[in-house]
Chains A and B, each alone.
Chain A
Amino acid sequence: MSFILTAVLVLGLTGLVLGLVLYAVSRRFKVEEDPRVGQILELLPAANCGGCGFPGCAAFAEACVKQESMDGLKCSVCKSEVMHQIAAIAGHSVELGAEKVAVVRCNGSCANRPNLRVYDGAPSCAAAALMNGGATGCFYGCLGCGDCVKVCKFDAIKMDPETGLPVVDQDKCTACGACVKACPRMIIELRSKNKLDRRVYVSCVNKDKGPVAKKACDVACIGCGKCVKACPFEAITLENNLAYIDFEKCRLCRKCVDECPQHSILAVNFPPKRVAEPAPENQVEQQTEQ
């Protein structure tokens, strides 16, 4: 009986002594952490996507508390109300721009831009871009190996097997910008979401002269400049044989879409044209009021 008692006593005492040591050490070497960091961290998505430019959500939370203002701090995944909450915890005020979404600016599907060659190297757009111009005649368009799909942490971008082009799921996309960085051809751009997710954009990045671009792809921008003239808001610029629509100036009037002889300007999420004829006018007004 006594040996059980000895064992209990010895172990109990050892435990007690070690516990005291641990307590003393933890008091002595205590790391002061701002409780706000923890609170902010709970609000963050914990995806560690890096879209904010910090190594992870914890680093972002710490930066929110440490920095004087919220300038340059934006979690692309969080909705605006969450960002306001975070700012409130950190004791700053925050002004948020328009919400954004990733847009693939290439419409060179298999039908519009047929394959002329076979690329059978490493299945990576970056490797294909290093090798040569890719399998089609266009030296600017999508290579179709899916580097953007691989880097998306939110499962928001997928390859369409029919067109061979990536498709962004606008509900899942958080505009973290990972795909923008991954694309070696700089095709993907973050554009403002607008009301009802409506967007008008030039779905081409081909900087070649008109005839060369046209030969490579049926829907390539040929830099004719018709859209520039048609735009009543001076939102379209033409540089290096390529039109670009500034989404901050664009009022979604869609005049350029009808003008484009190459059909390279796309308008998405608009209701069908015939029904919507009067609607765009209202749309413009609403946008202006905002």
Chain B
Amino acid sequence: MASVTFDAVTKRYGDVVAVDSLDLEIVDGEFMVLLGPSGCGKTTALRMIAGLEDISDGTLRIGDRVVNDVDPARRDISMVFQSYALYPHMTVQRNIESPLLARHYHLDGPDQPARKLTSAERAERVAEAARVLDLEPYLKRKPAALSGGQRQRVALARAFVGRPQAFLMDEPLSNLDAKLRAQTRIELVDLHRRVGTTVVYVTHDQVEAMTMATRVAVMSMGKLQQVGTPQDVYAKPINTFVAQFIGTPPMNCVDAAIAADGTAVDLGAAGRLPLPAGLQARPAAGAPVVLGVRPEHLTLDPAGSLTAVVRAVEWLGHECLIAADLDDRLVTLRQAGMAILEPGAEVKVAVDAADVHLFDAETTERLT
């Protein structure tokens, strides 16, 4: 097991900067999720760890070793690809065995020279991986004869069998159907708990990030936005990008202004909200800000300080989503059960001051 450290790592393709001076330490044994929309640089970052992309600038370490120029096969990592990248002409058994055939391993202690595994050792490792991932009945089959979920487990077994210092996973669940994806999420977390190996996991799906990660690194346009536990990132997003990327439906972020007396957020005809506690600096009266409130924190309450006009109600069974206007600012409210409301109806909405997020209107950075 090992840590993975990015120290001002940059990747350029010609004039395009795919990863911009990334500083990130992935701690030994943690499940780190790199999260962001497509094109944000997360996959490039992962491929740099794997050695499949050269590093333009900066230093990348696995454990204490600088690996910028180390051959991919000698980095002691393994990778699960989005397409699984199984060898279609080989049986499941050969697929799993594959990394053991060509690579050298430090089997006799770190001071002894690395060597290849004997066939008995290989057989033992393959059997173990097949048992852990429930693949024993399929060892003689070829990948084409397996279901998507089984193929995915073969890819995991191939990554697992070499007992690498870190697993790299590039959107491994994106080809599975929703039900299987939910099930595999739990299995992956369970596998990580059992083997304890560092995992670097790339996804654009914030549900995967929230459910599996020890910590999440949110990226956008090649830049790291925020690193933290899923709870931290959800509760204290550092800017409006992170605020709106995490959570479904996303956080409501609407234009507002600091009231003339400087003690509240002014939403025009919709009303006022008290300023949240812990503001780093009190914004000037009348300053434009972005108000952020999560849909579940906007509650229908006859004593609420805001007035909203209902546009539509979507019933999802266990809850409903109410689209409403706060003086022409469209927001979403999430309510348990079913709200019987007609479009056009005026309702009172309450927000706890602790649930109010304020962002700078210009820089989009968090003010609280």
Specify whether A and B are partners. Answer: no
Give chain A's interface residues, CB within 8 Å of chain B: none
